[in-house]
Amino acid sequence: MQLLDGKLLSEQIKAELAAEVEQIKMQGGKTPHLAAIIVGENPASQVYVSSKIRSCEQVGFKSSLVQCEASTTQEALLAIVQKLNNDPDVDGFIVQLPLPKHIDEEAVTLAIDPKKDVDGFHPVNFGRMAQGLPAFLPATPMGILEILRRYNIETSGKHCVVLGRSNIVGTPISILLSRKGYPGDCTVTLTHSRTKDLPAEVRRADIIIAAIGIPEFVKGDWVKEGAVVIDVGINRIPDESKKNGTRIAGDVDFESVAPHCSFITPVPGGVGLMTVAALMMNTLKACKGEIYGK
């Protein structure tokens, strides 16, 4: 069993990005600029956004944070989105989810200019991705593809089982891994809460993508020998042995699953860090005009 080290890979990617950004600056080019909007005081959101800003600093990007009160109206938030859409210095921006309940997340996502949608959530980018056209890929699926690519994991002809059908992870990764090329050419089964005999479906998998949002859901006897396991879950669960009374767990029961795997991502230290790295990669693409042109 080999760990798929997201920390190591993300540091490699950030070093590559930093070298490219340095070259761009030396040639008098524009410094990539990522902006983030955060609404309210959600602690997890604060941590995620801080991580993204820290990564921007590491790779030489310019970053800006728009911090809004939890009481911010939808109209006010949409006005901020429009301002960033129209700001020529901002190459890409994200609206950190979840948003307060009085704000329609779909309306906010639709308001983002697809050319600056470095999270890859806008239907225009999703549709282009589904048709194999150049697009900003959703950051977590893009991070998963980078893990598979950089560890040279064979995907062609493999049976991949995805647990979870969200628009952020499950559905897009099922599309991406079924496409022609590498990493891809998988036969993909997309499972969810209504799937009958889920353990039997998972046992057929050469590659398992667990993105179902239930801590330690996938058990060791669900996994065939030599399977590759990508654990997308980040769940905080009670643990009295820890100082703060909780610990982070994935969607996979690591202790029982790991002995059966050829490769497995740890939690933390796996997919989460690669999601941030993918966001940085998308921002550089936006700055260079690689998807939609300058």
- Pick from 124, 101, 97: nearest CA to 36: 97
Which one of 14, 96, 115, 206 is the catalytic residue? 96
Please confirm, yes or no, whether 58 is among the known catalytic residues.
no
Which one of 14, 52, 116, 158 is the catalytic residue? 52
Burial per residue of 99-116, b for 16 or more beta-carbon CB atoms within 10 angstroms, e otherwise: bbeebeeeebbebbbbbb
Helix axes 139-150, 170-178, angle to 10 degrees: 40
What is each CA distance from 36 to 94, 106, 124, in whole angstroms? 5, 17, 20
SS3 238: strand
**Unique residue bearing structure tokens 């301002």:** 83
State the Cα–Cα distance between residues 118 and 104, nearest whole angstrom: 20
Which one of 5, 117, 119, 253 is the catalytic residue? 119
Please confirm, yes or no, whether 89 is among the known catalytic residues.
no
For residue 157, which amino acid is it?
A: G
User: What values do phi and psi take at 160, rounded to 5?
Assistant: -105, 130
State the Cα–Cα distance between residues 184 and 12, nearest whole angstrom: 23
Q: Give the max Cα distance, the chain.
A: 58
Contact 257, 220 (CB under 8 A): yes
For residue 105, which amino acid is it?
A: E
**Unique residue bearing structure tokens 């900003």:** 136
Structural tokens at position 91? 């190459």
Please confirm, yes or no, whether 96 is among the known catalytic residues.
yes
State the Cα–Cα distance between residues 125 and 131, nearest whole angstrom: 10
As annotated, the active-site residues are: 52, 96, 119
